[in-house]
Amino acid sequence: MKRLLIATHNPGKVREYRQLLRDLPLELTYLDEVGITEEVEETGQTFLENAIQKAMGYAELSGMLTLADDSGLEVDALGGAPGVHSSRYAGPGASDQERIDKLLRELEGVPEEERTARFRCVIAVATPDGRLCAAQGTVEGIITESPRGEHGFGYDPIFYLPDKGRTMAELLPEEKNRISHRARAAHAIKPLLKSCGEEGTTNE
């Protein structure tokens, strides 16, 4: 069975991918399991650029078929921020709660109808010899005024899904994995994985 390296140190993300890609004939591993401690720098201006940098960088380091993603929150009232800076929005080493607190402060006084936002995820898959494929997924929502829910991570507790009547963090993991931006990007990348590994296909 072919191994697929998930380019992350985040065990929560790995669990999600093992669930999302469970029907593919792939054995998923990740950076900590294969002993990779080097960090591939993300210098791109878009989610796609960052995902490609990570996928190609870790494919070269590992010699394995490698999947990397870049994802984040785009808030319309903030001009699309925090965007590619979502994980660094409150500064290096900040916690999820600190990032949420900063975002809510930025949105103080903004009415609900103007608090529209989306989660965006771009997935890139690269081979050690430089072949590449990519896909993306998005989910639309509204930023709440305070966190709700105990599941998920990141900005999930303040991302409200109107059609569900709950925040992303109030969804059970299996429900989130059906509708999240990462789930939609993973669904889009599935048919490309085989051709990416064999021929090299790009789908942006």
Q: Which helix (H) or strand (E) holds 61?
A: helix 47-62
Residue 82 has what DSSP assignment? B
Contact 117, 158 (CB under 8 A): no
Instruction: Give the up-direction half-sphere exposure of residue 165: CA atoms within 13 A in the CB hemisphere.
Output: 0
Beta strands 159-161 and 132-143, pairing class: antiparallel
Residue 69 annotated to the active site:
no
DSSP per-residue letters across 143-179: E-SS---SSS-TTGGGEEETTTTEEGGGS-HHHHHHH
23, 32, 69, 70: the catalytic one is 70
Q: Is the peptide bond before 191 cis (omega within 30 degrees of 0)?
A: no
Task: Give the end-to-end CA distance of the chain in Å, rounded to a whole number.
Answer: 27
Contacting residues for 38 by C-beta, under 8 A, at least 6 apart: 61
Contact 162, 141 (CB under 8 A): yes
The amino acid that residue 153 corresponds to is F
Active site residues per annotation? 70
